[in-house]
Amino acid sequence: MAIPNLEVLIQLAHIFDVSVDELVQIPLFESSFPSINGLYLQLNRERKQSVYYHARKELNEQNKITKLSDVVEIYGAVSAGTGEFLSDIEYHESVPFNGEVPPHDYAVTVNGNSMEPMFTDKQIIFVKRTKEARSGQIVIAKYDGSNVYVKKLVIDEQGYRLVSLNKDYNDLIIDNDHNIEVLGTVVL
């Protein structure tokens, strides 16, 4: 049996108002979700293009995660406990790290257990530098101008506070007597 050339396939597809892929029944892409090929084939050209662009966007997002790394630059420590001084001085050390490294501006080490079970003592966390945060975000914040903490920022009817996930620790109240400076949000 002869296999038609591409021009003939294109003409046949036009005559029958189907795609070339439908004529030759070659899967467009391997999938662990077999029904996706069937769904894709039912879409018109514009919607197929939309699926393609969405898949490209998802792939680009996925590829933003740096694969396993063996060294991470640590820029100090933050307290998950009683407070830690994070210097503005350009200090850093290279430490071995085994895991996925997300896009981030800097990395720090957690000191203490007030953010357990999310973060453990000596864990490396990755931070996006920002001065703004929303309620519910895990932040790196300077409290009362000196000590730097990793805490959950909560803004509700009770006011503003930095909250430990470990219930053995009290909240740090933010008011006229106690202020914070958000230094970044933790990349989760």
For the chain, give every domain's residue range.
6-63, 71-186
Window from 18-22, 30-34, 47-51 with minimum mean pLDDT: 30-34
User: Tens digits of per-residue pLDDT, 116-156?
Assistant: 999 999 999 999 999 999 999 999 999 988 889 999 999 99
What pLDDT does 7 receive?
A: 74
Mean pLDDT for the stretch of residues 4-12: 72
Q: SS3 string of 53-109?
A: HHHHHHHHHHHCCECCCCEEEEEEEEECCCCEECCCCCCCEEEECCCCECCCCEEEE
pLDDT at 91 over 50: yes
Architecture of domain 71-186: Ribbon (2.10)
